[in-house]
Amino acid sequence: MEGGIPRAVAEELDAADPLAEFRKRFVITDPELVYLDGNSLGRLPAATSDLLREVVEKGWGGGLVRSWQEWIDWGARLGDRLAAHVLGARPGEVVISDSTSVNLYKLAGAALDAARGRNTVLMDAEDFPTNRYVLQGLAEQRGLRLHRLPSDLDGGLDLGVLRSALDRDVALVVLSLVSYRSGALLDMAKVNELARAAGARVLWDLSHAAGAVPVDLAAAGAELAVGCTYKYLNGGPGSPAFLYVRSDLHAVLRQPVWGWYGQREQFQMGPDYDPVPGIERFLVSTPPLLSLAAIDPALALVEEAGVDRIRAKGLLLGRLADDLAAAWLTPLGFRSASPGTPEQRGSHVSLHHPDAWRICQTLAGDAKVVCDYRVPDRLRIGLSPLYTRFTDVWDALARLREVTAGRTYASRPAGLARVT
Ligand SMILES: Cc1ncc(COP(=O)(O)O)c(C=O)c1O
Ligand SMILES: Nc1c(O)cccc1C(=O)C[C@H](N)C(=O)O
């Protein structure tokens, strides 16, 4: 019961794909497994293991502490590459450090400290949990008002809702450019403009956007951003995050965690904290060097492919997923949980189904399709263009249809795993 779109269509799209060769640059141990969870953890680039072996054996094993001469500015060097090729920022505006949550805390804290007389923080009530918790903590600790903007779980934040909440008390707006749940993509320039007109700053979380959709922080008038490197940037589990602060704000903002990596003349070990003038003032401490190093070969792939080409393929993958879902899955009780066209989304798509959890678990078994589940009833399908083929999407949705239609999942007991 193929119906809808024949597999040959996906095969033709693969044959015409200018990025097809990039799949070979990743480690793929099980060719039958369809991996559609690169929006959570990207695949391992083939070059990463050798690079890490070199850093471990030559750098750590041979060079020992002397290697810090070379390692110490890797966060800034990689930040500059990310700025130039992925984020549309200028040299000296991006640095890699800490985790997304910690960077969010540092930049939100810095912005709130600088915004005297304004006592409201706006956030999307449906934003990724860590963002909500960090802001809740900051607001409680500082006696600020946290205004949670209602937003459409399957759509995204309505700019009309944001506009009407932007009064003269708002110090900071924190938003994800791409929603982790629905994939909804916001208009960054428009949001920045609305906030600027109201005298508020915007802090962007680019975790689900970086390396998947074109981002031009400078052109969009962005002031602050954070994001992770282990999703579409394929930096590996727990690879450190990035942070961006527009250069004119470096002198104005001081982050709340005063560590020695932000200090002028770090190795002079001076008595009092006196941060450097540049982006490194937003650093805190010793980076997890091996995880930082792993970003290098991963970023090289994104640089070579180019984010515009990655996005172009992402849109086609998204359209194929939409068409197949409409033909095969809607009749089986699936309902879209994402904006309707790929252009309105990042690179993942979500579907509601009352049995989503059990379907997701079953798919990952014999059907060999890894996507993820998000409470209460969503399957989230990540389409990471550097290694996802059109035939992968076709095969995955065909297996999804089979599992659901045959209700082969129904006999399995339900229950939540610790990690989904
Ligand atoms: C939008 C968003 N922000 C933040 C995070 C969390 O980042 P971390 O746990 O690396 O701090 C994630 C995913 O883990 C995310 O999807
Ligand atoms: N960061 C993760 C982790 O440490 C464990 C399991 C999953 C993740 C993820 O990245 C989830 C992802 N941010 C999400 O959008 O749900």
pLDDT in tens, 112-161: 999 989 999 999 999 999 999 999 999 999 999 999 999 999 999 999 99
Q: Tell me the CA–centroid distance for residue 156 and ligand 1, in Å.
A: 18
- Per-residue pLDDT for 1 more than 50? no
Please write the tens of the pLDDT for every residue from 103-123: 999 999 999 999 989 999 999
101 is in an annotated binding site: yes
Q: Which of the following is catalytic: 81, 106, 201, 231?
A: 231
Sequence-separated (6 or more) residues with CB below 8 Å from residue 292: 74, 75, 78, 96, 239, 240
Q: How far is it, in rounded angstroms, from Cα 79 to Cα 145?
A: 33
Which atom of ligand 2 lies closest to the CA of 374? Answer: 16
Domain boundaries, the chain: 7-46+307-405, 72-304
Please write the tens of the pLDDT for every residue from 78-112: 999 999 999 999 999 999 999 999 999 999 999 99
**DSSP string for 79-93:** HHHHIIIII---TTS
Provide the token pair at 295: 């970003």
260 is in an annotated binding site: yes
Ligand nearest to the CA of 241: 1
Q: Which pLDDT does position 402 carry in this prediction?
A: 96
Q: Which pLDDT does position 409 carry in this prediction?
A: 81
Known active-site residue 231: yes
Q: Tell me the CA–centroid distance for residue 166 and ligand 2, in Å.
A: 30
Mean pLDDT of the chain: 96
Give the neighbor-by-neighbor strand order of the sheet with 224-227.
94-96, 242-245, 224-227, 201-205, 170-176, 120-124, 145-149
Which atom of ligand 2 lies closest to the CA of 41? Answer: 10
| Model confidence band, residue 162 (pLDDT cutoffs 50, 70, 90) | very high
Q: Is 232 in the pocket of ligand 2 (CB under 6 A)?
A: no
Please write the tens of the pLDDT for every residue from 299-319: 999 999 999 999 999 999 999
Fold for the domain defined by 72-304: Aspartate Aminotransferase; domain 2 (3.40.640)
Phi, psi of 120 (to 5 degrees): -120, 140
Long-range contacts of 8-12 (CB under 8 A, 24+ apart): 9/320, 9/390, 9/394, 10/320, 10/389, 10/390, 10/391, 10/393, 10/394, 11/390, 11/391
Please write the tens of the pLDDT for every residue from 173-198: 999 999 999 999 999 999 999 999 99
pTM: 0.98
Which atom of ligand 2 lies closest to the CA of 181? Answer: 15
Please write the tens of the pLDDT for every residue from 234-285: 999 999 999 999 999 999 999 999 999 999 999 999 999 999 999 999 999 9
Q: What is the DSSP letter of 318?
A: H
Q: What is the CATH number of domain 7-46+307-405?
A: 3.90.1150.10
Q: Which pLDDT does position 418 carry in this prediction?
A: 66
Please write the tens of the pLDDT for every residue from 3-27: 689 999 999 999 999 999 999 999 9
